[in-house]
């Protein structure tokens, strides 16, 4: 009987038929289909029927962290994922290097700034403003995280990143508290300061000379205040690790106190080294009862409306990752955090297919892993909150309620 | 249309395929399969997906008693089942006669003590300690229940029965309250006293002479404090009775204020007189709208890892019990309280199959009652809390919500 379990989340896995088959159905994936023949499928509405999940909320819920108690906003999770140490009460943001001309944001990603340049610019975004320490860390490309540390801060401030190009809007307090007012002031002072510093930087002078967009402002969104969550091992009674490339997913795992090994080649994009992730998962399984493996590109292709790319990436996962995960005796739970429809280029509230297999477990007689099968699967319709309980039961480590 | 209903719970009914069919699927059970053809199946996660239920919590929930309001621990249910009268505030335990040598428990069941000997030893286990009345009642074989009645008691004490042989551990308070400290003291003084009395008893002298293990200590577990629950008839608007052999199940029914007739030959094991239980159910149905019939051996065989025994017992139920239950016009709801996997010898959080039939009700077109069918059944996936509402609806006695 399986004593350990692997949860594979292909981000944004579920999709709509386009026009006949979804990418998961269109993909040639003999390894996943072999698991489908031996196990059970079902459909998951991560946060409840019809609700459109974000990646942050979806992952927290799936790992057993109820949102009403433990959701602290995206910022702290991004900051943790970028390797920053957070303290309770820190207010953190997801940050983007961007390009501003006059008052207009002309590129929210500063031409997808390269990592090397971002690292050179990092120091310009660290400062002390009033009694608040401002800590910035660049992560991948134009992305980064910003942490405000000081007394009396609040996450109740509007984002300076409005998710689209156009006129820049300063942060505003979202409630009447002193903390919200103070935090908005700090954010706006930071924005002015970093803009002035970046404008004069050598990196940007060189980029302008080369005809590239300058990374001359940092935009913020996803404000959240760092809270305290019980460790995964306390919550579930098993040791857990996470193998992921994307910062957010590592951040969720760190927030849950899981082991998050650095995996060379795990990039969180389509070029990620899936074989390296498989090996890392097997290694993590030595010291842990549970490994959460995350791949991101299924979601990224969906946001780009690229169903073919999504299909091919699922085929790559099937070929390069599944054999390692399925060949070691561990129970396997394969799903997505939510559906992302290529035709909409957006997350949807459609259920996401689930495939569960462990040696000696029940079978539902279905032959192929996909939305059209899973909606008739033996697991029926589950929610994100059920996932860890089902996994614990698969490996015989569920706590009995009663006697 | 059916106006009365029977709920048959085969304890621990659900199972894993071992290796191809589960015991329920392997069993030849023409009577249940005939009901399947005329009714609907589904899957039940008694306490929610993946949760591993105990027998006490599962039955309370199925009978409509929400655990957060009405679960009082196993002890009071066992004591009620053993025929003891409980008062609000009594602290009760499940008790076992056991064998201790020096400080080591060498047999948790004192060689499965016989009923007659247990009855002879009963008086040695009744006492007054401080201001607390200690009341013991032997039930079947080595089993019994212990009630502490007095001021300021608490169920927050650790068990002296650790569920395995080995060094004896005295009870400890589980919180800092005076009640927990006092109750632990009483338990430990009781244990010393009863050990001294039992050591010197004629019954044990005779057992030693015959080469049998002495029943020279009483171990306690499942501490709970007797609470107050609404009567079944108030909660559901119908009169209910229970036909069971096992003490726990009778205890749950008594806690719910149901009629619990004594049924000669209903033993709660594989030798139980199923025909007598069928007749008792029909008789109970004369004065009641609802009868809960419980059989235990399906669970016991599972705990022993005996899939063949479980299969044969299901066949016996089909032959000797189902005809009586199915032949009287009552609606029938057949399920287990949870799954118990023979291969794991333990309760699991796997869903348990459900079969519901009433004349004129819907059909789902499935042919055989079993896990592989039920996961595709027309009832879908339900929880324990849904059972009584579904049954009330089957007999047209559901209360309208709204107008």
Name the region of A222 (left: φ>0; alpha: ψ -120 to 50; beta: rest): left
Q: Which long-range contacts (CB under 8 A, 24 or more apart) does A104-107 make?
A: A104/A165, A104/A166, A104/A167, A104/A168, A105/A162, A105/A165, A105/A166, A105/A167, A105/A168, A105/A217, A105/A219, A106/A165, A106/A213, A107/A165, A107/A213
ipTM > 0.90 (yes/no): yes
Q: Are residues A260 and A345 in the same domain?
A: yes
Indicate the number of domains in chain A.
Answer: 2
- Put simply, whether B204 touches A (Cβ < 8 Å) is no
Is A59 part of any domain?
yes
Question: b/e for A220-256, b at 16 or more Cβ within 10 A?
Answer: bbbbbbbbebeebbebbebbbbbbbbbbbbbbbbbbb
Q: Are residues B277 and B292 in the same domain?
A: yes
* pLDDT tens column, B344-381: 999 999 999 999 999 999 999 999 999 999 999 999 99
Is B403 part of any domain?
no
Taking the alpha carbons of B73, B79, B80, B84 in that order, is the dihedral positive or negative?
Answer: negative
**A386 and B52: CB-CB below 8 Å?**
no
Both tokens of B115, joined, read 């009923």
Q: Residue B219 — very low, low, confident or very high, per pLDDT cuts 50/70/90?
A: very high
Which residue in chain B is spatially nearest to A396 when comparing CA positions? B348
Q: Residue B115 — very low, low, confident or very high, per pLDDT cuts 50/70/90?
A: confident
Contacts of A362 in chain B (CB under 8 A): 16-17, 350, 371-372, 375
**B49 and A392: CB-CB below 8 Å?**
no
Q: Are residues A57 and A126 in the same domain?
A: no
Q: Of B18, B19, B50, which is closest to A393 when you measure between CB atoms?
A: B50
Is pLDDT at A8 greater than 80 in this prediction? Answer: yes
Let me know if B1 is exposed, middle or buried by CB neighbors in 10 A (0-12, 13-18, 19+): exposed
Q: Are residues A212 and A257 in the same domain?
A: no
List the end-to-end C-alpha distance of chain A, in Å, as a whole number: 23
| CA–CA distances in Å: residue B138 to residues A370, B135, B144 | 56, 10, 4
Distance of CA A79 to the CA centre of its chain: 12
Contacts of A379 in chain B (CB under 8 A): 375
Is B248 part of any domain?
yes
- Put simply, whether B67 touches A (Cβ < 8 Å) is yes
Peptide bond into A19 cis (omega under 30): yes
Q: Are residues B259 and B386 in the same domain?
A: yes
Cα–Cα distance measured from residue A299 to residue A287, given in angstroms and rounded to the nearest whole number: 30
Q: 3-class secondary structure for chain B? A: CCCCEEEEEECCEECCCCCCCCHHHHCCCHHHHHHHHHCEEEEEECCCCCCEECHHHHHHHHCCCCHHHHCCCHHHHHHHHCCCCCCCCCEEEEEEEEEEECCEEEECCCCCCCHHHHHHHHHHHCEEECCEEEEEEECCCCEEEEEEECCCCCCCECCCCCCCCEECCCCCECCCCHHHHHHHHHHHHHHHHHHHHHHCCHHHHHHHHCCCCCCCEEEEEEEEECCCCCCHHHHHCCCEEEECCCHHHHHHHHHCCCECCCCCCCCCCCCCCHHHHHHHHHHHHHHCCEEEEEECHHHHHHHCCCHHHHHHHHHHHHHHCHHHHHCCCCEEEEECCCEEECCCCEEECCCEEEEEECCCCCCCCCCCCCHHHHCCCCCEEEEHHHHHHHHHHHCCCCCCCCC
Is pLDDT at A339 greater than 80 in this prediction? Answer: yes
Q: Are residues A387 and A281 in the same domain?
A: yes
Which residue in chain A is spatially nearest to B78 when comparing CA positions? A403
How far away is chain B from the Cα of A34, in angstroms, using its nearest Cα?
17
Q: 3-class secondary structure for A6-25? A: EEEEECCEECCCCCCCCHHH
Q: Are residues B180 and B324 in the same domain?
A: no
Cα–Cα distance measured from residue B310 to residue B300, given in angstroms and rounded to the nearest whole number: 8
Q: Residue A140 — very low, low, confident or very high, per pLDDT cuts 50/70/90?
A: confident
Is B308 part of any domain?
yes
CA neighbours closer than 13 Å in the CB half-sphere of residue B332:
27
Please tell me the predicted confidence (pLDDT) of residue A398. Answer: 95
* pLDDT tens column, B163-177: 889 999 999 999 999
Give the residue from B333, B338, B300, B247 showing the smallest Cα distance to B12: B338
Pick the last residue of a domain from A169, A204, A225: A225
Pick the last residue of a domain from A158, A190, A225: A225
- Put simply, whether A388 touches B (Cβ < 8 Å) is yes
Question: For A386-400, what is the mean pLDDT?
Answer: 97
Contacts of B67 in chain A (CB under 8 A): 401-402
- Put simply, whether A398 touches B (Cβ < 8 Å) is yes
Please tell me the predicted confidence (pLDDT) of residue A196. Answer: 96
Residue A157 is classified by DSSP as B
Q: Residue B120 — very low, low, confident or very high, per pLDDT cuts 50/70/90?
A: very high
Please tell me the predicted confidence (pLDDT) of residue B112. Answer: 85
Name the residue with tokens 């020096």: B102
Cα–Cα distance measured from residue B23 to residue B370, given in angstroms and rounded to the nearest whole number: 9
- Put simply, whether A67 touches B (Cβ < 8 Å) is no
Is A403 part of any domain?
no
- Put simply, whether A115 touches B (Cβ < 8 Å) is no
Q: Of B43, B57, B380, which is closest to A402 when you measure between CB atoms?
A: B57
Please tell me the predicted confidence (pLDDT) of residue B140. Answer: 81
- Put simply, whether A37 touches B (Cβ < 8 Å) is no
What CATH number does the domain containing B323 carry?
3.40.720.10
CA neighbours closer than 13 Å in the CB half-sphere of residue B97:
32
Let me know if B335 is exposed, middle or buried by CB neighbors in 10 A (0-12, 13-18, 19+): buried
**B348 and A386: CB-CB below 8 Å?**
no
Phi, psi of B293 (to 5 degrees): -110, 130
Kind plus residue range of the DSSP H or E element containing A153:
none
Cα–Cα distance measured from residue B269 to residue A87, given in angstroms and rounded to the nearest whole number: 58
Q: Are residues A119 and A15 in the same domain?
A: no
Is B49 part of any domain?
yes
Contacts of A399 in chain B (CB under 8 A): 52
Domain limits for position B185: 78-225
- Put simply, whether A194 touches B (Cβ < 8 Å) is no
Please tell me the predicted confidence (pLDDT) of residue A1. Answer: 76
Cα–Cα distance measured from residue B195 to residue B182, given in angstroms and rounded to the nearest whole number: 20
Question: For A27-31, what is the mean pLDDT?
Answer: 98
Q: Are residues B204 and B92 in the same domain?
A: yes
Peptide bond into A106 cis (omega under 30): no
- Sequence-distant (6+) residues with CB within 8 A of B391 are B5, B7, B290, B331, B333
The interface residues of chain A toward chain B in range 324-353, judged by CB-CB distance below 8 A, are none
User: Percent of chain A beyond pLDDT 90?
Assistant: 95
Name the average pLDDT for chain B. Answer: 96
Which residue in chain B is spatially nearest to A385 when comparing CA positions? B49
The interface residues of chain A toward chain B in range 348-387, judged by CB-CB distance below 8 A, are 360-365, 376, 378-383, 386
Contacts of A361 in chain B (CB under 8 A): 16
Is A400 part of any domain?
no
Contacts of B70 in chain A (CB under 8 A): none
Pick the last residue of a domain from A177, A204, A225: A225
Kind plus residue range of the DSSP H or E element containing A132:
strand A132-138
**B57 and A362: CB-CB below 8 Å?**
no
- Put simply, whether A3 touches B (Cβ < 8 Å) is no
- Put simply, whether A49 touches B (Cβ < 8 Å) is no
Q: Residue B1 — very low, low, confident or very high, per pLDDT cuts 50/70/90?
A: confident
Q: Are residues B112 and B51 in the same domain?
A: no
Q: Which among B15, B375, B378 is the top mutation candidate for probing chain A, defined by the most A β-carbons within 10 Å of its own β-carbon?
A: B375
User: Between residues A163 and B277, which one has the greater pLDDT?
Assistant: B277
| Beta-carbon contacts below 8 Å between A and B | 92
Is pLDDT at B198 greater than 90 in this prediction? Answer: yes
**B375 and A364: CB-CB below 8 Å?**
yes
Name the residue with tokens 């608007």: B237
Is A78 part of any domain?
no
* pLDDT tens column, B25-42: 999 999 999 999 999 999
How far away is chain A from the Cα of B312, in angstroms, using its nearest Cα?
21
Q: Are residues A346 and A203 in the same domain?
A: no
* pLDDT tens column, B380-397: 999 999 999 999 999 999
Q: Are residues A244 and A359 in the same domain?
A: yes
* pLDDT tens column, A181-225: 999 999 999 999 999 999 999 999 999 999 999 999 999 999 999
Kind plus residue range of the DSSP H or E element containing A369:
none
Q: Of B16, B222, B347, which is closest to A362 when you measure between CB atoms?
A: B16
**B55 and A403: CB-CB below 8 Å?**
yes
* Pair B387, B52: CB distance under 8 Å: no
**A390 and B50: CB-CB below 8 Å?**
yes
């Amino acid at each position: 009987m399986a004593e350990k379990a692997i949860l594979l989340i292909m981000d944004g896995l579920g999709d709509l038929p386009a026009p006949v088959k979804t990418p998961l159905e269109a993909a040639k994936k003999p390894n996943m289909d072999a698991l489908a023949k031996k196990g059970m499928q079902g459909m998951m509405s991560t946060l409840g029927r019809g609700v459109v999940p974000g990646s942050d909320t979806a992952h927290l819920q799936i790992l057993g962290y109820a949102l009403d108690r433990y959701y602290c906003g995206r910022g702290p999770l991004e900051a943790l994922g970028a390797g920053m140490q957070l303290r309770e009460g820190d207010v953190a943001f997801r940050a983007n290097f961007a390009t501003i001309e006059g008052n207009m944001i002309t590129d929210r990603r500063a031409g997808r700034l390269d990592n090397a340049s971002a690292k050179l610019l990092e120091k310009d975004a660290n400062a002390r403003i009033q009694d608040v320490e401002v800590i910035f860390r660049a992560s991948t490309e134009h992305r980064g995280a910003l942490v405000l540390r000081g007394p009396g801060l609040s996450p109740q401030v509007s984002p300076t990143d409005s998710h689209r190009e156009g006129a820049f809007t300063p942060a505003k307090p979202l409630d009447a508290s002193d903390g919200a007012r103070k935090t908005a002031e700090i954010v706006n002072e930071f924005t002015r300061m970093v803009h002035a510093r970046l404008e004069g930087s050598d990196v940007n002078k060189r980029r302008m000379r080369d005809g590239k967009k300058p990374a001359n402002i940092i935009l913020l969104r996803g404000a959240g205040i760092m809270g305290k969550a019980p460790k995964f091992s306390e919550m579930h009674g098993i040791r857990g690790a996470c193998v992921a490339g994307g910062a957010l997913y590592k951040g969720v795992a760190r927030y849950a106190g899981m082991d998050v090994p650095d995996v060379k080649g795990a990039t969180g994009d389509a070029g990620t080294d899936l074989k390296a992730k498989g090996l890392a998962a097997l290694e993590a399984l030595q010291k842990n009862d549970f490994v959460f493996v995350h791949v991101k590109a299924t979601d990224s292709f969906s946001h780009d409306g690229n169903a073919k790319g999504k299909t091919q990436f699922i085929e790559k996962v099937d070929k390069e990752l599944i054999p390692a995960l399925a060949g070691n005796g561990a129970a396997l739970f394969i799903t997505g955090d939510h559906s992302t429809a290529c035709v909409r280029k957006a997350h949807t509230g459609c259920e996401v297919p689930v495939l569960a297999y462990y040696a000696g477990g029940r079978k539902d007689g279905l032959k192929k892993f996909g939305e059209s099968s899973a909606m008739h699967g033996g697991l029926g319709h589950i929610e994100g909150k059920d996932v860890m309980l089902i996994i614990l039961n698969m490996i015989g480590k569920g706590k009995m309620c009663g006697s």
